[in-house]
C-alpha cells in the first residue's frame, strides 16, 4: 500500500488550505487504495481572514499546524518531522495558505520567500525522485523546488503564470479537468480552484491529479 505525505497550509481558502481541495485529496488517496499522513509547518499564519466578510481580522493570529489539524481531524504532524524515506509520494493541495503561509508569493510575487521546512521536505522528495503533485496555486512552490524550466500549471491566469515562470518553471495552460505532467521529475499539477467554479469541477481536477501521481513509478 502506497504511503502519501500531504502538506497543508492552514484551514480556509483565503488564509490557509482550500478545504474542498484538501478533503477531496484525502478522499481520492483512500479511494486509490493508498494511505496518507498530513503535515503542516508549526508557524503563525500571515494573517487571519474572516471568511464571511472576506476582511482581514485585525489583531487575531492563528497557527498553521493547529488550523490544519482541523482538516486532519487531529491526525497531523509538524512538517519538520516528515521522513521522506517513509513515503512513496507527496501531495500539496492549494488555497491562499500555500502562497501566504508556505511562501510569500501572494504578497511578493516572484521575489517571495519560502518556509525553510517546506523547501527542505519538498526538495528531498525531488532529489529522491519520488512522485509529487501540487494543486491550484501550490505549483508556485514546485517552481522553486524544481526550477530548470519544469513543466507545470496553475490553469491559465497570465499574471500568476508569469510569476511561476520567473521562479524557474515553464508554465503550461491547462483545463480544469486535466493535469500537466513533467515525467522527467515526476511532477503532476492541476488547476483545481484556480479554474473550478464548483466542487464537482474541483473533484475532477483533484481526482485526476491523485490518480496520476499514484500511478507513477
Which residues form the catalytic set? 136
Residue 72 burial by Cβ neighbours in a 10 Å radius (0-12, 13-18, 19+): buried
Separation of CA 118 from chain center? 11
How far is residue 29's CA from residue 2's CA, in Å, rounded to a whole number?
9
From the CB of residue 186, how many other CB atoms can be counted at a distance below 10 Å? 21
Give, to the nearest 10 degrees, the angle between helix 19-31 and helix 64-71.
50
Q: Beta strands 76-78 and 132-135: pairing type? A: unpaired
Amino acid at each position: 500500500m502506497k504511503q502519501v505525505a500531504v502538506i497543508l497550509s492552514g484551514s480556509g481558502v483565503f488564509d490557509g488550505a482550500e478545504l474542498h481541495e484538501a478533503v477531496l485529496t484525502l478522499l481520492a488517496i483512500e479511494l486509490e487504495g493508498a494511505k496518507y499522513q498530513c503535515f503542516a509547518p508549526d508557524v503563525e499564519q500571515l494573517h487571519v481572514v474572516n471568511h464571511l466578510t472576506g476582511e482581514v481580522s485585525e489583531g487575531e493570529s492563528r497557527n498553521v499546524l493547529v488550523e490544519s489539524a482541523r482538516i486532519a481531524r487531529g491526525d497531523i504532524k509538524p512538517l519538520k518531522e516528515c521522513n521522506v524515506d517513509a513515503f512513496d509520494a507527496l501531495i500539496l493541495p492549494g488555497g491562499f495558505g500555500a502562497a501566504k503561509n508556505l511562501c510569500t508569493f501572494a504578497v511578493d510575487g516572484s521575489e517571495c520567500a519560502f518556509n525553510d521546512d517546506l523547501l527542505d521536505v519538498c526538495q528531498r522528495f525531488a532529489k529522491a525522485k519520488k512522485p509529487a503533485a501540487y494543486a491550484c496555486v501550490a505549483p508556485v512552490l514546485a517552481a522553486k523546488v524544481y526550477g530548470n524550466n519544469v513543466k507545470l500549471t496553475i490553469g491559465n491566469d497570465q499574471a500568476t503564470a508569469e510569476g511561476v515562470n520567473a521562479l524557474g518553471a515553464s508554465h503550461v495552460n491547462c483545463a480544469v479537468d486535466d493535469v500537466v505532467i513533467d515525467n522527467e521529475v515526476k511532477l503532476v499539477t492541476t488547476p483545481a480552484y484556480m479554474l473550478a467554479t464548483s466542487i464537482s469541477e474541483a473533484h475532477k481536477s483533484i481526482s485526476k491529479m491523485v490518480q496520476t501521481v499514484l500511478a507513477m513509478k
